[in-house]
Amino acid sequence: MTESGTGNGTVGGLTVGYAAMLEQFHPTEAVELSALAEEHGFSGVMAADHYQPWVPAQGQAAFVWNVLTAIGERTRGDMGPGVTAPTFRWHPAMVAQASATLAAMYPGRHWLGLGSGEALNEHVVAGYWPEAPERINRMFEAIDIIKKLFSSSLAGKDVKHAGQFYKLESTRLWTMPEVAPEILVATAGPVTAKRAGRVADGLITVGAPLEKISGLFQKFDDGAREAGRDPGSMPKVLQLHLSWAETDEQALANAMHEWPNGGMKFPKADIRSPFDFEQMAKLVRPEDFEGRMVISADPDVHRAEIQKYVDLGFDRVYLHNVGRNQREWIEVFGRDVLPKLAR
């Protein structure tokens, strides 16, 4: 992580990073944009592990670990998959190996964001797709395996596991960083947030009504305290989608075409195909984004929205402008928004 006061996207302990959307941009361009964002004051990069885009119009789905490695070469800030699911396409041991390798290559910069998965990405290996409670239980067992692998490998010992969902024969990670990566759990639900507080190092969530997020924080903190941990020292991370363009009309058009999933007011974890999402996108109306995503040509409107989340207690915020106008947006926000945010 960059230190406070470096002038590189970090102000008073707040880190504002760039969300590199591998669903929208060719990996080469995603790397270039990440480097450009850092030049303009963003610090750190979040990129999601997608096998498919949400809708065909987004058009890409690069392999996140390759792209993060390239980003590591071109930037100096933190980076992580926000998020990957260590549960269906991946055995947890493989996610642990990928994460440990990245952390060994870029010491102190990599964090591991984990979630319970979405059918859009996970169904491609043709496994059974369970309901949410089982998906969440799988994720927490996977976290247990990853933590065991990290701790035992640092101690130079083998570890094994036999659980409800996974088996791991005696092994260790032979390539490890000096310090294991932070494990951050993505959740929008209070029960999962409390469990995450007990076992994870931090929380990731997406933009939502402030009262809902405040409740998530409370549950996460409760879980941390139950485990004898200090929630004040555990990062709370936000991915915030927004649409900025030179006019309000263009900002809205970008949201409707590029990110209609942001206006879908229903759970999306069971939908399997970008083409199904495309059909559902026809039902999205401009008013569906209200309260879910700021759409405006005024940088100060966006700054005020980001500041609300910072005031609520987020330590790291990764911004995603949904349009293709990334370079213009990076320049404008680097100049007119990031310097005005205050922790």
Residues with active-site annotation: 50, 118
Tokens 């670990």, residue located: 65
Residue 14 phi, psi (nearest 5): -90, 130
3-state secondary structure (DSSP) of residue 202: strand
Of 257, 280, 256, the C-alpha closest to 268 is: 280
3-state secondary structure (DSSP) of residue 284: coil
Tokens 């485990």, residue located: 227
Distance of CA 118 to the CA centre of its chain: 14
- CA 246 to each of CA 155, 216, 263: distance values in angstroms, whole numbers, following the listed order: 54, 35, 21
- 161 - beta bridge partners? 168
CA angle 269, 272, 276 (to 5 degrees): 105
Alpha helices in 227-321 (DSSP H): 248-258, 274-281, 299-312
Residue type, 107: P
Using an 8 Å Cβ cutoff, are 56 and 126 in contact?
no
Using an 8 Å Cβ cutoff, are 160 and 168 in contact?
yes
- Hey, what are 16's tokens? 């504002």
Of 320, 256, 318, 249, the C-alpha closest to 289 is: 256
3-state secondary structure (DSSP) of residue 36: helix
* Strand stretches in 49-148, DSSP E: 79-81, 111-114
- Other CB atoms within 10 A of residue 84 CB: 25
Radius of gyration (C-alpha) of the chain in whole angstroms: 19
